[in-house]
Structure 1
Amino acid sequence: MKRILIPAGGVIMATGLLAAGLAGAAQADETTAADPMAATAANAKAIAQFWAENNGAALKAATASDIWDKADVAKLQSKGGYSSDTKPGSTAPIGQEKKTTAKVQNVNMPKTIGKVFFVNSKGEKKWCSATSIQSKYRNLVSTAGHCVYDTANNTEVVSKWVFVPGYYQGKSPWGIYVGKQAFTHYDFDVYEDYDRDYAFVTVYNGVQLGGGKATKVTKAEFEKHQGLKDVKKIEITKAEYEKCNLNLGDCYAEGEDKDPQLVGPDYPGAVLTKLEVAKDVYDKAATGKGNGNKIGEPITEHVTEAEYNAYKGPGTKAKDAAGNYTITHYYVQQWIKPGEVKKYYVNEYYVIEGYAKDAGRLGDNVGGQGFAWNQPTGKYVRVFGYPAAPHPDGNKAYTGITPKWCYGKTTAKLVGSAAKKIEEHVALKCAMTEGADGGPWLLKYSNSKRLGYVNGVTSTFNDQDGNGRVDYISSPYFDGETNTVYKAAANVWSGKIV
């Protein structure tokens, strides 16, 4: 769906949840574009279940965002200084971390960071990095614009977008937060201007999924149910299958009855079996691999008198003077294609009730970073993200499993990338690769409070020294127009899923 441009002072005619969601953004100016994502709570619940089912299988299957190709990872160009469009400003962070006086040597990762997961226009499950950011309703996520809009498909919004703070190998410790509405700059929406590659997404209250009770239901009840459900394939006998069909049950057969077939030893899938034969046949049989050839030495077994008398096979029977009974067996090779046996099944249908539990607001659970705009360049920032992609030369230094960080001064000059027509980015010396895109650039980060001010998001990955390795990353410069987009998103309510 295309962007909904929110005019300055304009009136939007909308109904239902869309009207409620957009109400808080009514004062946004023409720089802001907004787009609904999961428009209803029912739709949002289904999205959360999509990612959480089967112990987070879809989350585990997702791979890092990979919109950059090797040609894009090029050298940045200095563009000179930057003139602020408004006065510098900031919005304070929110959080419950207590300040300590202890000297901390290691970097304390912020609770606010995590991964955003989505499905792109190719149907691929992908992820980027992101953070919770301060907002009126404590329901806002900051990430890169290309982690929200599918630039490969005319900037359509990606589907099934969720944020999982503290994500680790399929686990969502603070719940899954489904995106309700995405906000970005109009120039990114219309022109794919990477100078505006940032986005703010309002999310529903988080949901914790698990511990539900499965109840067996009819097929009609199963199809009607909108929540989590499951189908179990149960094997039954042929008699049960025939009875089921008479009662119009949901039964079916798979395969067909086929007798084994004699084939050659080189037939694909041929299985070696042994055939018992008479002694004279065995004595005349050849050795080596092939039908009718000997397989092993004759086998003599001691048996009871009853077994001796009952045996009617081609082997030789003997009874000695002491009354001991023996049977000697002779075997030749028989190479066969195994037969098949038709199997019968019935489907049983289950719905899972009480599965989703409200996890509360994002900011209440993990806090929210502050926001800063029109700040001087050349300042220290700490950048967080989940890098996973290999460097352009193929070297893979990261796994994407745990978050990483970089620290340093941003470039005093603005930089550009010819590959993405970028003119106004700031850069930082850092070797993180894709997967880290969307991660926050935190100004004035407090290691004890684990809070700072979002003053950028990772947008591009660059190779300044030409050795085939990423050594710089860049972010759009956050100016007054960025603040306008942020404020439009920060004042929009989203609500609960359950």
Structure 2
Amino acid sequence: MKRLLIPLAAVGLSAAVLAPPANAAPNWATDNLLPKPADAYGAAAFWLDSNGAALKKATQYNLDSKQVPKLVSSGSKGAPDGKPGMTGPTTTAKAGASKNVNLPKTIGKVFFLDSKGQYRWCSATSIQSRNRNLVATAGHCVYEHGDDVYQKWIFIPGYYQGRAPWGVYVGAYAFTAYDLDTYDDYDGDYAFVAVHNGFMLGAEKEVSFKEFKDFAGDKWVKPGEISASEFRKCVLNLGQCWSVGAKDAQLAGPDHPDAVVEKVEVSKQAYAAARTGRGQGFKFGEPIVEHLTKTQWQAYKGPGDKGTGPDKRGNYTVIHYYTQKWVKPGTERKYYQAHYILGIAKDMGRLGDVVGGQGFSWNQPLNQPVTVFGYPSAPHPDGDRPFSGVTPKWCAGKTGTKSWQVNTFRVETHQVLKCSMTPGADGGPWLLKYNNGKRTGYVNGVTSMFYDNDENGRIDYISSAIFDGETADVYNKANYAATKSVVGPNGELLK
């Protein structure tokens, strides 16, 4: 960890006077992402809505630099700041044999919104922890310029074309190096994110109005067309059936033998002023709560009550109020009955129990073999784009014998690897001792930056922060972060 230093001779003070105070800044920093289950549910619904449209719209993160940064040798061999250490991986994969590199089940993409509202993604991996809930990625894939965390941050292991085969894991708490959080210093460009239990959205279930009203998760009303005779049987249950016909339909009293009821949407105030019972302008059933995406909610202009923002559970809703309108049926008239639908989410459990977690290592010597995974997508500087970002790719080799500097991003000690992966692979794990059969290794870095060192218009090197004792401190803090389930056994949203 770098600190601003003052030459002793310039101020005439002894080293003892400049000793760090007992309350010196820690090596780590932490920030909340979405610790409340309701907010986590809303973030997942945002990304998964419309068959994953937002996921497919997202583009890879790009460094805030007009030119590809240059590597400068520091001449240092990356001396460790303490004893080397390792924590073993956990795995759900069965050991196997293959001549090809097997992709680990733990890798995936993180998705988030930046301050400009752009949909972005990076690479990441599940990493072992005591609560089986930790994701390792690049710090710049969680923190924007070291100032604040991104919005709607989620991790999808095994992501492929809008699909989440093992569920969506929403970030609850983020942990990173103090210097990245405070100074945007890329020597600490890594982050560990504690995520909630994963869950999937999918099945829907029709229920009674009472069950619908009491349900705390995703829900909506689906109209279903019925016959005139079915309508007459249903009309006694006012609030669940209605008709639609010509606008100039002749009004009638509710006791007229041919009369049918329509529903007319009104304001909350008009509904409150209406009487209860059967008759023109009387209340039509109970108010209906409609759940919308934030974009739909912002665009809504109808008479329903949209409130001033998300409710206490983080949902964007509009409450619709209706009164009765009794008319003679005439000819061109259709009849409808309300179907109350619940969106049933399924709890997938803890991340590490579902896909396993890679091990973690620190203070390891340089010039060691590593296997690096990621989802490269961006074109090379010359415009050629060999990677789609759809499927993960890999590089393997020995890291450099010395650490390197990148002046543009305050980097003084990065480890490097010869590799042609492009941005999109940001945050992907550098795995020591990768076991191709078990698909596990030890995370000893995460992809931070990309370089065209021979200036031929092609990315030829990538770099990572060196995982040292300070990285272990950050990891240890994240290791104790406790998270929870977002949905209950019946798909209900938990508090």
How does the TM-score come out when normalised to structure 2? 0.70
Residue matched to 1:378: 367
Q: What amino acid maps onto 1:208 in structure 2?
A: M
RMSD: 2.9
Equivalent residue number for residue 231 of structure 2: none
CA deviation profile, 1:90-139 (whole Å, cap 9, x unmatched): 11111133334x4x211000000000011111111110000000000100
Which consecutive unaligned segments of at least 5 residues does structure 2 have? 1-23, 225-242, 252-259, 268-332, 488-495
Aligned counterparts of 1:241 and 1:430: Cα–Cα separation in 2: 73
Which residue of structure 2 aligns with residue 239 of structure 1?
247
1:368 pairs with 2:357: yes
Distance 1:237 1:115, change over 3 A: same
| SS at 1:50 equivalent | helix
* C-alpha distance 476-349 of structure 1, shift in aligned 2 (>3 A): farther
Is residue 2:386 matched to residue 1:397? Answer: yes
1:127 aligned onto 2:129: no
Does 1:476 pair with 2:472?
Answer: no
Match of 2:217 in 1: 227
Matched letter for residue 32 of structure 2? P
Give the partner amino acid of 2:463. Answer: S
- Aligned equivalents of 1:176 and 1:390: distance in 2? 28
Against the structure 1 CA distance between its residues 241 and 131, is the aligned structure 2 distance closer, same or farther, given a 3 Å change threshold? farther
Identify the residue that residue 141 of structure 1 maps to in structure 2. 135
> Do the aligned partners of 2:452 and 2:461 also contact (CA within 8 Å) in 1?
yes
Identify the residue that residue 62 of structure 2 maps to in structure 1. Answer: 66
Task: Quote the sequence identity (%).
Answer: 53
Specify whether residues 350 and 491 from structure 1 end up closer, same or farther in structure 2 by C-alpha distance, changes over 3 A only: farther
Correspondence for 1:41? 37
Of 115, 120, 130, the residue aligned with 2:109 is 115
Helix, strand or coil: the match of 2:264? coil
Offset, 1:345:
13
Distance in 2 (alpha carbons) for counterparts of 1:63 and 1:53? 17
Counterpart residue number, 2:175: 183
Task: Answer yes or no: is the 8 Å Cα contact 1:231–1:348 preserved in 2.
Answer: no
C-alpha separation in 2, matches of 1:226 and 1:242: 41
Do the aligned partners of residues 77 and 239 (structure 1) sit closer, same or farther apart at CA in structure 2, a change above 3 Å counting?
A: same
Shift in alpha-carbon separation, 1:245–1:199, aligned structure 2, 3 A: farther
Q: Which AA in structure 1 matches 2:481? A: V
Deviation at 1:74, TM superposition (A): 2.6
AA of the residue aligned to 1:161: W
What SS is found at the alignment partner of 1:211?
strand
Residue of structure 2 aligned with 1:486, choices 475, 479, 487: 475
Secondary structure, aligned partner of 1:416: strand
User: Contact 1:227–1:351 (CA<8 Å) still a contact in 2?
Assistant: no
In 2, Cα distance between equivalents of 1:352 and 1:35: 37
- Give, as a single letter, the amino acid of the residue that structure 1 aligns with 2:81: D
**1:192-231 deviations in Å (ceiling 9; x for gaps):** 000000000000110011012256979xx88x97632457
Query: What amino acid does structure 1 have at the position aligned with 2:124?
Result: A
SS of match in other structure, 2:40 = helix
CA deviation profile, 1:306-359 (whole Å, cap 9, x unmatched) = xxxxxxxxxxxxxxxxxxxxxxxxxxxxxxxxxxxxxx9999987642521110
1:1-400 aligned within 5 A: 30-71=26-67, 73-80=68-75, 81-100=77-96, 102=97, 104-151=98-145, 155-213=147-205, 227-230=217-220, 237-239=245-247, 247-249=263-265, 352-400=341-389
After superposition, what is the alpha-carbon deviation per residue over 1:244-263, rounded to whole angstroms, capped at 9, x for unaligned? 99853269xxxxxxxxxxxx
How far apart are the structure 1 equivalents of 2:183 and 2:26?
Answer: 14
Residue 393 (structure 1) shift: 1.6
> Deviation at 1:66?
1.6
- 1:444 aligns with 433
Q: Residue 111 of structure 1 contacts residue 367 of structure 1 at CA under 8 Å; is this kept in 2?
A: yes
Alignment coverage as a number of residue pairs = 371
Give the distance between the partners of 1:78 and 1:241, measured in 2 at CA. 84
Larger Rg: 1
Residue 420 to residue 43, structure 1, CA distance change in 2 (3 Å): same
The change in CA–CA distance for 1:184 and 1:347 in structure 2 (over 3 A counts) is farther
Q: Distance in 2 between matches of 1:165 and 1:411?
A: 29
CA displacement 1:348-407 (0-9 Å, x = unmatched) = 987642521110110011110000001000001000000001111211111000000000
Letter in 1 for 2:168: I
CA shift, 1:53, in A, is 1.8
Q: 1:70 Cα shift?
A: 3.7
Q: Which amino acid aligns with 1:457?
A: V
| Alpha carbons of structure 1 residues 62 and 84: separation in structure 2 relative to 1, 3 Å | same
- State the one-letter code of the partner of 2:391: T
Check conservation: 2:93, 2:105, Cα contact below 8 A: no
Q: Which amino acid aligns with 1:239?
A: K
